[in-house]
């Protein structure tokens, strides 16, 4: 297993127009995303944090996520090659 903070990870925020979006795990902030503009926090800050959290949580029980994804891509390519055209 990788040596990152154990999951599950969650997204919190932004708490206000000038606040960052926090990524929380094990009761503490492990990362923040930000995207400040004149009107406050950009929506993509929350979207980026949500995607990071989804990826980390999805890979939680996979020993080598990069290898897992490589194999999955190969399998998908093999299945597509077998499709009747």
pLDDT of residue 68: 93
In a domain, 3, yes or no: no
What is the token pair recorded at 2? 């990788």
Instruction: Provide the domain limits for residue 20.
Output: 10-82
In a domain, 76, yes or no: yes
Domain total of the chain: 1
In a domain, 32, yes or no: yes
In a domain, 5, yes or no: no
Per-residue pLDDT tens digits of the chain, which is 85 residues long: 457 788 899 999 775 666 678 999 999 999 888 776 666 556 678 888 999 999 999 888 888 888 999 999 999 999 999 986 6
Answer yes or no: pTM beyond 0.85.
no
In a domain, 4, yes or no: no
In a domain, 2, yes or no: no
DSSP letter for each residue of 42-72: -HHHHHHHHHHHHHHHHTTT-S-HHHHHHHH
pLDDT of residue 57: 92
């Amino acid at each position: 297993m990788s040596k990152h903070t154990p999951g599950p990870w969650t997204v919190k925020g932004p708490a206000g127009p000038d606040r960052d979006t926090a990524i929380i795990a094990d009761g503490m902030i492990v990362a923040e995303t930000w995207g400040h503009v004149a009107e406050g926090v950009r929506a993509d800050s929350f979207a980026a944090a949500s995607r990071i959290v989804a990826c980390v949580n999805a890979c939680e029980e996979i020993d080598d996520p990069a290898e897992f994804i490589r194999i999955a891509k190969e399998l998908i390519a093999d299945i597509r090659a077998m499709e009747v055209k």
